[in-house]
Amino acid sequence: MTESIELHPRAASAAPAAMSTRDRTVIGVLLVATFVVILNETIMAVALPTLITDLRVTPSVGQWLTAGFLLTMSVIIPITGFLIRRVPTRALYGVAMGLFSTGTLLAALAPGFAVLLGARIVQAGGTAIMLPLLMTTVMTLVPPARRGAVMGNLSIVISVAPAVGPTVSGIVLSFLGWRAMFLVVLPIALVTLWVGLRRMVDVGEPTRSPIDGLSVALSAVGFGGLVYGLSVIGAGSSGSWLPMWVPFVVGGVGIAAFVGRQLALQRTDRALLDLRTFRSRTFTTASVIMMLMMATLLGSLTLLPIYMQNVLHLSPLATGLMLLPGGLVMGLLGPVVGRLYDRVGVRALLVPGTVATSLALWWSTLFDATSPAWSVVGFHVLLSVGLAFVFTPLFTAGLGAVEPRLYSYGSAIFGSTQQLAGAAGVALLVSVLSVGAARLTAAGVTPVLATAGGVHDAFVVAAVLSLLAIVAALGMRTPAPPSEPIEH
């Protein structure tokens, strides 16, 4: 097992080995494809009010366009570690982008809510595969001394795509209908699919291990149950057909049984999701920080449009444009942070990043019904700067600390925990907002001021959580180069 030590990656290796043209092409195609599918994940943030009106559904029903997407992701991602080891890279890429393109076409042509929800589920099936496939391929093909730089480019995909999703959505909705959101994405997805199938090559040798059906079922029940419960809370819906505690109990029991099953199967290398990655303290710490940061990011991206449109009375277009500078800053910093990682290691970047993120969230606790627009933009830019210094070091150090043969499982675990954390962050912050607003409304406060008060309470919770990430960041170490050869 590769464990972590505090030294600069450059000190542990000679000059970085050059990547072949083939390897650069494979990673480039995967980067573009993953950017497209993740952009789609948050494109609903600004569009949901319009969709609710046009499709004549209630907010508690309409939110399932996002919740159903997350639910599907949470069920499929735990299986991706097995799929990456079993299915050739080119074929798995074709399946992922084929599903995503089909779902995008169905969404653009959807005559009503039911078909649109089904299309989002199909999209999610492709999206769930792409990010673990990209991360595993990068860790396999890129020499340790260059991983920071490549992961910097990868961070553009992971962090900028969801950040600019609301901007793209706001601009398109202001000039075209909601179908245009999917029609804009569809040609890019189809071209990426075509180019990828022509240029993609297989990475590594597929294994012949059979899939464990019981593990798949337990994974679906466990992860699906927890995300469903969190989504119900996030929707603020008391009309669910199940008592709210039932999905959490079912999900908790499912996760416990899934973990027990994997611990038994991994003794013979037949686990669906090998949990030996958690033997690395660095990987475990990185997973915890990643969960805190994803909960903060997706929760904040949910709160901001509510605050900007319902309290500050801004249009969807203005909302999207005001969130654009932060997304651009994060994109510009990604490669810079990646190169810095190769020089100074993880902790020198991660600690300032978590501190900046926390400062931004404490800044947001000052928002009220009269806050100027520049204050909101400034908060989002500072938050984006902090997260830019967090994501690249976390992915690079976390996956670099596990054995190369476990890279696919580490990628799948990162993806699964991100979905759970994102759903939990949205559910927690929206619930705090709802409770705070209801309390103020009962006290006779106007709806606008009540919503502003609820947003304040939610951002206080997010700011307190961010302090935990700072503490965890202090314990991170830069991983040593792998002790076993990486085959590709």
Give the C-alpha separation, 486 to 488, whole Å. Answer: 7
- The model's pLDDT over 143-181, given as tens digits with 9 standing for 90+, comes to 776 766 677 667 666 666 766 776 777 777 777 878 888
Mean pLDDT, to the nearest integer, of 122-128? 88
- CATH number of the domain within which 83 lies: 1.20.1250.20
**Higher per-residue confidence, 407 vs 12:** 407
Query: Within a domain: residue 354?
Result: yes
Q: Tell me whether residue 14 is exposed, middle or buried, using C-beta atoms within 10 angstroms of its C-beta: 0 to 12, 13 to 18, 19 or more.
A: exposed
H-run or E-run covering 191 = helix 179-199
- Please name which of 323, 321, 341 lies closest in space to residue 333, comparing C-alpha atoms: 341
CA distance 275 to 273: 6
Residue 12 included in any domain: no
Residue 10 pLDDT class (50, 70, 90 cuts): very low
Secondary structure (3-state) at 4: strand
Is residue 89 assigned to a domain?
Answer: yes
pLDDT at 85 over 70: yes
Task: Please indicate, yes or no, if residue 42 is contained in any of the structural domains.
Answer: yes
Percent of the chain with pLDDT over 70: 84
| pLDDT (0 to 100) of residue 357 | 92
**Is 6 domain-assigned?**
no
Q: Number of folded domains in the chain?
A: 1
CA-based torsion, 291, 294, 298, 301: positive or negative: positive
Helical pair 147-155 and 324-344, crossing angle rounded to 10 deg: 170
E strands in 361-475? none
Q: What is the tens place of the pLDDT at every residue in 90-117?
A: 888 899 999 999 999 999 998 888 899 9
Residue 53 C-alpha from the chain's centroid: 28
Does 484 fall in a domain? no
Q: Is the pTM of this model over 0.85?
A: no
Burial level of 236, CB count in 10 A (0-12/13-18/19+)? middle
Among candidate residues 31, 415, 365, the one with its CA nearest the CA of residue 196: 31
Domain limits at 44?
21-202+211-473
What DSSP string runs through 319-351? HHHHTHHHHHHHHHHHHHHHHHHHHH-SHHHHH
| Each residue's pLDDT tens digit, 306-328 | 788 888 888 777 877 787 788 77
What span, in angstroms and rounded, lies between the C-alpha atoms of 67 and 411?
A: 22
Predicted confidence (pLDDT) per residue in 408-438, tens digit = 788 778 777 777 787 778 777 877 888 888 8
Domain annotation covers residue 76? yes
Residue 204 pLDDT > 70, yes or no? no
Q: Is residue 16 part of a domain?
A: no
Q: Rounded CA gap, 362 and 286, in Å?
A: 23
